[in-house]
Amino acid sequence: MQRILSAVWSLALLMGVTTGCTQQRVQAEKALAKTFVTDEQEEEIGKQVKQELEQKEKIKYVQDPAVVEYVRTLSAPIIRQATKDRPGVKWKINVIDDPKMVNAFATPGGYLYVYTGLILASDTEAELAGVMAHEAGHVVGRHSARAMVNQMGLQTVTQLALGQNPGAAAQVAAQLVGGGAMLAHSRSEETEADEYGARYSSGAGYDPRGLITFFEKLQAMQGQSPGIMKWLSTHPTNQDRIADLQKFIAQKNLRGSNNSPGQLPAIKQKLGGR
């Protein structure tokens, strides 16, 4: 109870933070999200979101074990890096069978979803790993939990934190799926996820510039595919964002030797890619 009362006081302080104090506001949002939404509660919400996706969105998973194992193996060193920053998350990697959707997303609880369209659009393992590392960054940054605190109201998240509303997790999950809140992030959150993605890619041995080449590729292909437009609608990419990421990589001296196709061409062939 004490942590809830402290968080309520923090929320009152947050409301007094001006929009010019971006960094202070971000830190306050993170502290509130961590207080109101525990790792266990995020896990429950993520489980509910998965059910919503399967039942209402009718998503289909890839059945080929070789493809699924490839994506999970590729993501494993990324997840190890992310776990250093947020050890309480139990990561789950899912591969959605939709070759026209160039996308990936992550939901509370460490549920990371990769579309086959993203695999087919990637030319190197560094590009694919970079996107997954970016999505892992959204989880580590508690971006969905921060959105819940900001968008769903103090009453709902307080009930969730206190366990007073058994249906709160399902309610939140429905709103996340129905409103697209799990995919919509602010510019500052996208920047933070880019930086996490570059760090995690480098730490895992992948060239962190893979995320940049993927962004540049999507920009060049803009307007050619609804699947690409879906990514750009939830991850707006422009030259400023690319320049910021290039600057971050240079400042942190981030490197990685893996910038090759690796096993990707064989996996793309299994998926029917050219």
Catalytic positions are: 135
End-to-end CA distance of the chain: 57
Structure tokens at 8: 């309520």
Q: Side chain identity at 101, as an amino acid letter? A: M
| 3-state helix/strand/coil string of 50-108 | HHHHHHCCCCCECCCHHHHHHHHHHHHHHHHHHHHHCCCCCCEEEEECCCCCCCEEEEC
**Do residues 160 and 207 lie in contact, with contact meaning Cβ atoms separated by under 8 Å?**
no
Chain-centre distance for alpha carbon 49: 14
Closest CA to 105 of 42, 181, 29, 216: 181
Q: Pseudo-torsion of CA 92, 106, 58, 153, nearest 10°?
A: 120
- Dihedral over Cα of 264, 265, 269, 272: its sign: positive
